Structure 1
Amino acid sequence: MTTTDDYATYIASLPRVLAGAAALYRDARGRVLLVEPNYREGWALPGGTIESDQGESPRTAARRESAEEIGIDIPLGRLLTVDWTVGAGRPPLVGYLFDGGVLDAEQLASIKLQEEELISWRLVEPAELTAYLPGPLGLRTQEAYRILQSGEGTAELENGLRPQAS
């Protein structure tokens, strides 16, 4: 066995971690844009899986997914949160959430849903996010919105919450 084969075997033996990226879009009133997937219950943010096998970065993935899912293709703002989420029945997920900015009335009117994945979209008041977004995603989104309002820097999260100092 060559060194290359040993390295490939080693890489194949490593634990798997999923990676996803999304954008937090708002309207002029501060409501958050959510999308309703057709492949699971509940709501989500525009975003999805990072195609790391294609060399895609989290920022590029969030923008690509937004363009595919809602037809909005604009540069994203700063990284708001990075969340390590452990879920039952799947590998851990690292979720990146970027500032998508404030969409004007014309942009909102131009939203075109990806019919293969989405049923609808809506604007939700920040206080209602956890009622629409399940578990850590709702907590992550609320924290990202709070960061936008406060001007704080990027937050490290675990299951949607800031970890306790160790």
Structure 2
Amino acid sequence: MSGAFKSDDRYEGLSSYLSGNAELSSVISRTDVPNLMLIPSGQVPPNPTTLLQNSNFNFMIDTVKELFDYIIIDTPPIGLVIDSAIIAQKADATILVTEAGSIKRRFVQKAKEQMEQSGAQFLGVILNKVDQQLGSYGAYGSYGDYGKTKKSSKSKKH
């Protein structure tokens, strides 16, 4: 997510804060979008799961809930690493984002079940990168003559 928004150039991030090497205020970055701030991931630590289970993570979640109206936490795909499930336990709600045509339905169903087991409210699935051409069948005015008027075939007599 941090790559989608231009933010302050910072070397420190979430891993720096969680490991005790930075203050929370120093890892919150402003972006070029008004009222949108982010915490970049920072350096990949050798023990990310351990960092998410320490008291700094709980303190951070409690603090940002007081500071901001909405908090969006972008995680690795659930099922690949335990990190997403740990973070989901601290969330008020979860959303599963998946790319059209790249994941089998049973994997999406399993990921949904894992998110529901975290205890957070599951809001639904966002399907992105949908091929708009595939959805044209049956669209208004694009299938058969529905919505079209026929021209009169009267011939002119001279």
TM-score after normalising by structure 2: 0.25
Query: Which structure would you say has the larger RCO, counting Cα contacts within 8 Å and 6 or more residues apart?
Result: 1
Max Rg structure: 2
Q: Which has the higher strand share?
A: 1
